[in-house]
Amino acid sequence: MTKTKIGIIGGSGIYQIDGLQNAAWHQVDSPWGSPSDAILTGVLAGVDMVFLPRHGRGHVHSPSTVPYRANIDALKRLGVTDVISISACGSFREEMAPGDFVIVDQFIDRTIAREKSFFGSGCVGHVSLAHPTCPRLGDACETAARDTGITVHRGGTYLAMEGPQFSTLAESRMYRESWGCDVIGMTNMPEAKLAREAELCYASLAMITDYDSWHPDHGEVDISDIIATLTGNADNARSLVRRLPALVGAERQPCPHGCDRALDHAILTAPDARDPALVARLDAVAGRVLNR
């Protein structure tokens, strides 16, 4: 048994957790650069909680400039065991309407301008992403959403685009009709990949704000409509988060899906061939396997 520490990565419109006891903001140093912002820690319903605003308070980071590696490394350094990612997205499905939530279970990564791994020359590692989210955490998010009264869809494929521009009509139609995607956003990749490399259980909670540009009755994405929907979604998301500690629990067994053991057989570089400088940067992310 280990002590649970839930990390919430808040997306657009989510800049805090309500009701935290002993709440305090902390600067966390990372060898991968500075995280998006200071990190809020506290206790909610007897469970340790950590909150990181993905875009920074005041929304200062674009999707492409979010320091994804520093964010995940910082959460790992703080002892986070379970990460719930909350983000805004567009929908490719009529039944997945603005205001609904989707518990994402698959991704297609179309980002091109981001560092996507902690590993590289001098310490090569390959983790499995066949199932990139943790079903156990997905269960908790689904129950919390339904208890909150949110319309939630379990399962969906998230198309991660680079942005910051929204899709062309041709792209929107391709992602929906040819690729079979369900939602589209700009921030869950490489976040999910890095969480797996850091052996963190990860769940993605996508808040639908619009129908992208494919829908004949809605036309192009309008940022004013997105902001209006975000306001309601953010209130629902904060209510959902308040229910998570009781569902996840203060103590946890090893992840039944192996998220917390993702590096068991992932590192291929022989110990005597590893770059000491890179190994030092990996102390939090991969120290469990590099130091044994």
- Comparison of pLDDT for 58 and 81, the residue scoring more: 81
Which structural domains are found in the chain, ordered by start?
2-290 (3.40.50.1580)
Question: What b/e string do you get for 240-261 counting C-beta neighbours within 10 Å, with b at 16 or more?
Answer: bbbbbbbbbbeebeebeeebbe
Lowest mean pLDDT among 21-30, 164-173, 211-220, 270-279: 211-220
113 pLDDT above the threshold of 70: yes
pTM value?
0.95
Fill in the DSSP letter of residue 259: G
Q: Give the span between the Cα atoms of 215 and 209, in whole angstroms.
A: 13
The pLDDT tens digits of the residues spanning 254-278 come to 999 999 999 999 999 999 999 999 9
Catalytic residues: 210, 212
Q: Give the span between the Cα atoms of 155 and 218, in whole angstroms.
A: 24
Q: Give the span between the Cα atoms of 50 and 42, in whole angstroms.
A: 7
Which pLDDT band, with edges at 50, 70 and 90, does 223 fall under?
low
Q: Give the span between the Cα atoms of 259 and 277, in whole angstroms.
A: 26
Which pLDDT band, with edges at 50, 70 and 90, does 1 fall under?
confident
Residue 87 tokens, joined? 């983000």
| Residues 154 and 138: beta-carbon distance below 8 Å | yes
Residue 152 CB: number of other CB atoms within 10 A?
19
Residue 135 tokens, joined? 């079903």
